Every structure is written in structure tokens, then in C-alpha cells.
Structure 1
Amino acid sequence: MAIAKAERLMNLALCLLNTARPLSKRELRDSIEAYIEVSSEDAFNRTFERDKDDLRELGMVIETVESLDGEVGYLARRDLNRLPPVTLDAAEAAALGLVARVWQQARLAGAASGALQKLRAAGVPMVDAEGDHYSALEPRVPAGDAAFEPLMIACRDRRVVTFDYRKSNAATPEVRQVEPWALECWHGNWYLAGHDRGRRAQRVFRLSRIVGRVRSRSGEFTAEVPDQVAVREGVAAFAGEHATAQARIRLRAGAGYPLRARATRFLSRGVEWDELEIPYGHGLDAWLAEFGPDVLVLAPAELRADVLERLRAVAAG
């Protein structure tokens, strides 16, 4: 919303809230500077009706009252527009605090911090899920990817986006045109789910693989947006989370901690290499290739071949 419009709506709301009697459109036009500057009566009427509808859409209760002489007046009674006291339980306060921290590296960091301060000033305890006040060790959800904010806005506004995307086994990025549905953080990385127009199918994109600027434009979506977008399930399928077997790998000591967290069994621990088993499912080859020389696939043979093929494709580029 433009600053000029936001200021005009705020002034209209204040006039309607602070009057003891209904105010006519003429009185409102004479009281609000932005309306005084409107050149014609028709233009004012159109602007006022839009502003009134916008305030009602935001939840404001505006009454329309007809006087004895037939003139229509407007007011917003405080008792109908007063919010109840804000009360949050421990889990809700913890979730709200964590959401605010998503913005710690984004443009709304100041607004999120200010909102938390207002809640604390109102007596809302900002505690963690265990009921303890936050200490120096606080949960954090990183949002440092440059693509995060423009994609979040595109998801909210239902705007088609275009970006350059580099797959794990590709040396150069490809242009993708996507109808964005939802963002979700999984295993410390942000992912976008949406309809890939070029492939005419649902796809999941890791934000850290987006190269350059995200460009957005208006236009109708060509695919129906699901009622529930399963971002995490889609990522899990492509990352081997839905395992059908076990893979045996050799992992360089001190490296590959996400793989170690997935290990179902440690076969041996050495000075330079550790041998372990991890769940093997669709997409595991792409994930293992990201660790480069720190991972050696021992079995199964088809997984080893797939990882080598991806690494050779990157090296050839």
C-alpha cells in the first residue's frame, strides 16, 4: 500500500473513531487534507467509497446513519472497534517469537522487533515452548537467501516469478518461470513449491540455488493452487527422505554432519574416513553429490554410478 493512501486511510479512521456524532461526507472532506486536495466532487466520492470499503475489509466497523434532513453520516463507535486483550499461551508466544526471528536478516526486521517489544510492554510473556524466558540460546530460522523476500511477497500476492536456477548436477543455471505457492524451511534450507510452467508440473526449488535476481510480474495462474501445499513432503521425496533401502557410504572425518544425522548405523570410525549407512531413496544421488570429495559411495552400485555421473557433469562444465 502506498504511503499516501495509508496516511489517508489512517486519517479517515481517526476521524470516524473520534467523533461523537455521525459525520457527513462533506464534513469528512473538509477535515482530511488528502480529500481537500481532490479536484472534483466525483473524484472525491470515488476515493471516499474506496477508502470506506478498504477500512471495512480491514475489519473496521463503520456505521451509516441517516439524519432527519436526509443527509447520510458515518461514524465508527469505539466499543465496536476495540480489540480484546492480547493473550497468548507459552506455545503461541514461542511460535510468534520464532516467526519474528525469521525476519532477522530481512527488510521487516525492525517491524518484527518492534511488534515483540509492544507485546512485552502489554504484559505478554515471550517464552519458549518449555515455558522459560528466552536466554542466549534461542531458536533461529535463517532467512538470509536474497531470493527469500521477493519470493515471499510473490507467494502472498500470487505473482508469477522468473529466476535462473542451477541444479546440483548442472554447471550453468536454467531460466525457470514459476507460479509460486509456498515457502518452507527444511533442514536449515528454504524451499519454494510451485507450478513450473516450462515443465508443466509441480516442482520444489531450493533458494540457495537461485542465481541472480528474482523477477515478478502480474498475470493469472495457469494451474490451480492446492488447498494444502506439501513443501516438506516434496523436498523429502527429492532428498531421499522417503527411503526404500540403505546406502553404504564413506564420509570424511569432520565433514557431512547432515549425513551423519541421517545415519542409521555406523560401521566403522577411522582417522580420515568413517563408514556408515543412510536411508536410500529417490534423489539421494543429488544430495550426496553436493558434498563433493567428502563422500564416497560404496553401495549400491546404481547409486554410486548416479553420483559419479552428476560429478562428471559438473566437472565437464
Structure 2
Amino acid sequence: MPAVRPSAVKTPASSAPLRSGVSRPAIWRVMEIHKIIRTGRHPNCSTLAREIEVTPKTIQRDITFMRDQLDLPLEYHPVKHGYFYTRPVTEFPMLHLSRSDLVALFLARHALEPLRGTRLERMLSASFSKIAEACPGEVSIQWHELDDAFSVKAAGVLAADVTLFGDLLDAIRATREVTFDYHKLTGSQPESRTVQPHHVGQIEHGWYLIAHDPARKAMRTFALQRISHLRLLKSRFVRNASFNARDHLGGGFGVWSYADDASRRHEVRIRFEGYAARVVAERQWHPSQIIEKLNPDGSLVEFRATLSGLEELTRWILSWGSKARVLEPPELKKRVQQEVAGMVA
């Protein structure tokens, strides 16, 4: 039977819940309604009001907000007399963040640098990650814990960095092309680029722009610190609806993307021992990773992953020194051997 939206849901006054005197923030109520509806119970305004301890009128306003402002597929079932989702909702759309909100997030991320590796950083990072998830199409943050044995010297955030970050957000939201000078790591001098910005993300403690480069007919990743003379153009572009930052970077082991060669696959196997085995087993290094303990105390593990490229993985393996041993593939073995030979030379 097709679902319909009722123009109003009348609730007898006698069914109104007793107010407990406890304040219920709007976002808390909306999240509670979302969780209850996902159970498939088809709750109505009266049952939701009793569970959340507010009035049915408040619930009706929340329902309208969820449907009209958050664009949730919320409908009222005329037979079961309750609300339900017409399609699966796996991620809850948070409130839209303004440019100033996102710039504040950018500054706060840098402010936490002195706390990196501490328990407080881990606690705060979870909260900031939830905020960042409110705008997955615009900005993202990846938090990687470091051992307490390591420290990072805190660096200030330049005004130019904040301006660049904010201007890129404006371009992404307005789907406007941008032009800038970019200094590649392998280049002797900056070169001019005109691109269509899709996403700004914090990856491996650095900020990067992911944009479509029409001249190269592909998505490209740019380090913000190597971008200069940014200008927003009047020309608009149509955002690629299928673009997803996580998928774009999923084939690599860090910032490098291999989306243009997604068919290429390397089945990686690395054995770690000692402290390296324990540290590797504690973290999520790549979405495809599988970590198998080879002895009871966890001092010997095997790391497995499926990657499209090996460049950044090679550097990661070298960082563990003699505690890492490459098992597969042969190409990765050769890369590591060549690097070590070059270091010895």
C-alpha cells in the first residue's frame, strides 16, 4: 500500500506526557526519533512523545524538520499508523555547517597538534570527526594516533592557510572553477592549473584538495601548502555525483590516488615482529586490511591488504626497519630492496 503524508496528526490532550523538567535539545530529539524509526516499529507522534518525554506538537515539528530540512525519506503509514523510512538510511545527515564553522574546524585541528598521541587527543578527535562527517562532500578529517613515545613540534597556522581553506570551501559549495599555481614535488617551478574542486580533506596530517582537472581529464590531488595565487573563476561546473573521496583514495596507502587505474590490484603481505607487530595491529591503516596474529602474545603478525599502487606503502615499510619483512608481491620486495641498497650506497 502506498505511503501518504498526513496533513496533521491529532493527539488527545490526555495522552500528552508529563514533563520531567529536563531540557531536550532539538538535535538530541531528532537523533532519538531517527533511532526509534530505524527499528521498524512505526511510531507515531504520541508514542514518540512518551518515549522522548516531550509534547506531541514538539515531535510533529521535529518530524517536519527531518523530512523537509534534512531530506530524510520519512513517511506516515496509513495502515500501521506510524512513521517509517521509505528507503534504507545508513548515515544520518547532520545539520549544514557554514563556512565559518568549517574554518573553525580547520583551526581546531591544528590547535590539537601539541596533544597528538595523548589520551585527550584521542577523545577530542572522535568528537571532531563526527562534526566533519556532517559535510562529507566538502571536507573530511582522518585522525591517526601516534604512540606516546613520539612527539610533534606544534606549528602556528598562517593567515594565508586559513584564507586558502575558506576560499576553496566557497568554490566547492558554489561549484565554481578555480585557478592557481601549483609546485609539484618533482617540479623545478610552479605551474598554472585550472580545476573543478570537489573536496578538501585532511589526510596523514596534511590538507589536500581533490579536484577534476579538465586538461588531464581526471581527478587530481593537490597539497594545500603547495598552492599559491588561488583565484575563484566565474565559470561553473557540474559536480560528479558519483565522486566519493574515500573511494578516490581507497586504492592507495595514503594521499596518492590510483582511481585512473582501478583495475590494477596488488595483494600485499607483510610480516611484522616485536613492537612493530603490536603497533600495526592496533590501528586501521587501510580499509582492505586484514591483520592475523601468528603467535599468542601478538609479537608476530601478518598484514594483508589489496592496493592499486605501492609507492607510499614502500615508504611505510621502510619506516619499520628490520621489524618488517615483505612476503608478497615480488614487485614490492624489489622496490624495498632497491631503496635499501640506495640508502647503503
Same fold (TM over 0.5): no
| TM-score, normalised relative to structure 1 | 0.44
For normalisation by structure 2, the TM-score amounts to 0.41
Q: Which has the larger radius of gyration?
A: 1
Larger relative contact order (CA 8 Å, sep ≥ 6):
1
